[in-house]
Structure formats: structure tokens, C-alpha cells
Amino acid sequence: MTTPVETAATHYVPENLPTHIQHYINGEFVDSVGGKTFDVLDPVSNTNYATAAAGQKEDVDLAVAAAREAFVNGPWPKMKPRERARILNRIADAVEAQEARLAELETFDTGLPITQAKGQALRAAENFRFFADLIVAQFDDAMKVPGSQINYVNRKPIGVAGLITPWNTPFMLESWKLAPALATGNTVVLKPAEFTPLSASLWATIFKEAGLPDGVFNLVNGLGEEAGDALVKHPDVPLISFTGETTTGQTIFRNAAANLKGLSMELGGKSPCVVFADADLDAAIDSALFGVFSLNGERCTAGSRILVERAIYDEFCEKYAARAKNIVVGDPHDPKTQVGALVHPEHYEKVASYVEIGKSEGRLLAGGGRPEGLPDGNYIAPTVFADVAPDARIFQEEIFGPVVAITPFENDDEALALANNTKYGLAAYIWTQNLTRAHNFSQNVEAGMVWLNSHNVRDLRTPFGGVKASGLGHEGGYRSIDFYTDQQAVHITLGSVHTPKFGSIEAAAANEG
């Protein structure tokens, strides 16, 4: 077992925690119509600190009805872009003003280290500022045939957007969907993850105080198979944006088919981090460690398969494992903590089971189970397996925790074959000083996003999404605008109308002649 720097867990509890979390529908906090609730626990003590209203079909119906009314008869979709942008910027101001409180609640609810949670609030604010700027600068195409015709694109919001979000960095990931959906004039129903409903409940007050009209934002808590399922199947919800694991995404795909809904789904990942012998080894190790162990390893873009060229394989493994053993595991609220508690006992058991599987599929270099000195809570030491075969489960399957598999390769062709040898295709990380290899490899790897000699840095203007089992569609920048709007083509004749005169005397005479 790895002995962590932190040898004892504490249980920090923020002040003024709610004991009950409600839905937010048409500008009011409400309980479920049928009174159903579910328990919410924190991952350090694994004790319940609150109940949350458990949304059912009737609750989703009420939320969708409110959102639909706000879309059809409310002012939001008809506002000028600048008017909506002002409200979005006020939302960003409010998020920034609550950064410390948001980070405190997010850390308590998710087990995310406090230093990493603080950055999430600022990123959430930036998402709103970005789309506030984008909708003001937005323009659409106009095509002219001189003296004959002009054609232009009328871009307009689609309606009620159903947003289903995950439990890892929930507040920030909610902002990725909320900001573009609202910016483009849609109304929304948000269904946050049942493991982490705490920070999502803050959106209601933030939006209300920023001047968002009632009914534009609605929130229904609940289980995916109940509230999420009802939202996906609702006929008055033409759009679903979902972030989560692939099996759930497949279910959503099937259930959305009946109403031909627009879908944007960012799903699972098993992303390769490919390190060639000519790479800056220290920089690659820094990135490969951060890429899988930050956010407790609970990140879809984690580089959880590290492929290393044989010439530097032994050196890489030795240095990587030594660093992994020194990662600070402990109380998520301690600023020194680098890996906190996994989000929920169910997820802890899943990750722990993969650690045990890995002991028969690879050579254990670091970690391997619960850290010493942390007998309670959902803690797993950063775990490193080497010599992992490409058909191993820990190579093929998404673990979503602080567990990494390292595999050697001999040449570029083998590296590419190994990188593409999973059903997933979300991200890839390439480390090499060879410019030709870097571009050729990045263009041939089966991944929606590639970082060359870089860790996971997100530019909000670029598309975000995966290929294969990692997703459907892309969001980010103008791709988000495209997803949340209809592009209506309008055609206008500028001169005389020249249309074949079916059924006329002239047409009959012409045919006789």
C-alpha cells in the first residue's frame, strides 16, 4: 500500500448546508408532486446530509410546460442579443462573486480537491461571458444573385432544451450547456446528476437575481431512469444535450428516436497518451500524471492509457511511478490534497474492482487500493500498472478513477494501432518533437480532440466531442450555436417571377406545338 502524505482524514462540513434540496419550476422552489425524495451523501463520511426531491414524470411535465410557456409567450426568445448578453454577464458576475462558496459546496458534494474546485467556478463564469460575446457578434449568411434573387439565413431558437449533466465537476459542466442554450434564446429543463445535486441548486437564485424571466430555467432533480427518462421522452423537448457514460447515451439515443430529437452527447473515454522517445520526458510525465490523477481521475478526457516507446519505457515507468507514490491523498478541503475522495460508494466499489482486476493484468508499480491512514471515505491511492496488454480490461474499459495502464510500443505504426484499439475516441495526447510525426499521428488517431505536447487546455472556440463510442455531435463555439438554433433559409425574388405555367392555356398551346 502507498503511504500518503496525509495520514488522517478530516470531515469538514460547510456552514449553512441545506437539509433538503428542491426542484425549481417556473420561478419557484417546489417538492415533487408525489412527495418522493432520495438521500444525498458526502463522499468523505458517506453519511447522508440532505434529502432531495426525486422528480417523476409529472414533475418533468410541469417543468417542460413552464419552459414551453416561457418560450412561446415569454420575452426571452424575442429579446435582442445584446439584451440577453447583459443578463448572461450578470450571471457571470454572480458566479464569480460566489467562487469561494461554490468551491466549498462542490468539494463537499463531490470529493474534488478544493484547489481544483476553485477553478471550476471561474470557468463556469467564463462560459457565460463567452456566449454573451458570441451572440452579439453572431452573423449569418446572405447570398445574392444580382437582379434575380437574395437568400438569407434566419437563425432562431428551437424551443425547450433538455440538459442532463454528470456528477464530475457538475457546476462547471452545467454551465457548458446552460450558457449556449440560454444565449441562443431557448428555455431549459436541467436534470443534474443524482449523486451531486448540491451546487446545481444555486443556479436558481443566481438566474433569478440576474433578471432571467421565470420559466426560462427549470431544474428537476432525480434519478436518470425516472426524471432523466421522462425528459428524454417528452414530446415538447426537441433537444437533448447529455454528458455521461456510453451505455446511458445509447439508451437516450433509442428513446429520443420516436420524436426525432436533436442530440448532442459527450460520452465515455479511454484516451491514449502517446510518448515517443524524442519527447520532452519531464513535460510528458507532468502532463500524463495531471491528465489522469487530477479531478480524482473522474474525467472523461483522462489519458488513462499511456503508450510509451520502448527505448524510454523503463525510465518513464520508474519516474512516473515514483511521482504517483508522492501524490497527496486526503481531505478534499485541505489545500495540500491532490487526490480526494471518489464521488460515491457505488463508484468507489467499481474503481476498486478494476484495481483488483489490474493486479492480474499488469505489473503494479504504485497504489493498488485504499491508502493507509484513510480507513473511511471513498479513497483510492493513485494506482499505476505497467506491461498492460491491449486486450486487458484495464486497457479497454473506462475506469473513471485514479488508475492508469502503461503499455510499450516499438514504432509509429504500433503506437497508432494501440491508440486506436478501443471502442472509444474522445481525446488523445501526443508527445514528440518530430513535427511531421506529430501532425500525421494526430490526423490518423481516432479521437475527437488531440493535444500535441500539451495537457488538456480547453479553448471555448473549438469543437468539443468524440467519435466512435465517445459521443455524437460537437459543442463549443459556433458548434453550440448551431446545435441550439434552427437555420431557416429565406428566399426572395428580386425581379420577375419565372415559373413554369402548369395548367395554363399558354402551356397547353406550347405542348400542342
Amino acid 501: pLDDT: 85
Question: How do residues 467-481 score in pLDDT, each as one tens digit?
Answer: 999 999 999 999 999
Residue 147 has pLDDT above 50, yes or no: yes
Residue 6 has pLDDT above 70, yes or no: no
Q: What does R_g of the chain's alpha carbons equal in angstroms?
A: 26
**In this model, does residue 1 exceed pLDDT 80?**
no
- b/e per residue, 300-318, with b = 16+ CB within 10 A? bbbbbbbbbbeebbeebbe
> Of 1-10, 255-264, 301-310, 411-420, which range is least confident?
1-10
Distance of alpha carbon 68 from alpha carbon 74, whole angstroms:
9
Report the distance separating Cα 332 and Cα 9, nearest Å: 9
Q: Using one digit for the tens of pLDDT, what is the confidence trace for 97-109?
A: 999 999 999 999 9
Residues 426-451: tens digit of each pLDDT? 999 999 999 999 999 999 999 999 99
Work out the average pLDDT over 285-309. Answer: 97
Which amino acid makes up residue 390?
P
Is residue 334 pLDDT above 50, yes or no?
yes
Amino acid occupying residue 226:
E
| Model confidence band, residue 507 (pLDDT cutoffs 50, 70, 90) | low
pLDDT of 503: 87
Q: Is the pLDDT of residue 96 over 80?
A: yes
205: three-class secondary structure by DSSP: helix
Task: Look up 317 and say whether it is catalytic.
Answer: no
Catalytic annotation, pick one of 226, 266, 398, 475? 266
Share of the chain above pLDDT 70, in %: 97
Which is the catalytic residue, given 6, 300, 309, 317? 300
d(C-alpha 187, C-alpha 178), whole Å: 9
Task: Report the alpha-carbon distance of residue 251 to residue 26 in Å, rounded.
Answer: 29
Distance CA 309, CA 320 (A): 14
Confidence check: pLDDT of 7 > 70: no
pLDDT given for residue 513 in this prediction? 60
Residue 506 has pLDDT above 80, yes or no: no
Residue 497: Cβ-neighbour burial (10 angstroms; 0-12, 13-18, 19+): exposed
Task: Judge whether 398 counts as a catalytic residue.
Answer: no
- Nearest CA among 239, 199, 197 for reference residue 220: 197
pLDDT for the residue 3? 36
What CA–CA distance (Å, rounded) separates 375 from 378?
A: 9
* pLDDT > 60? residue 5: no
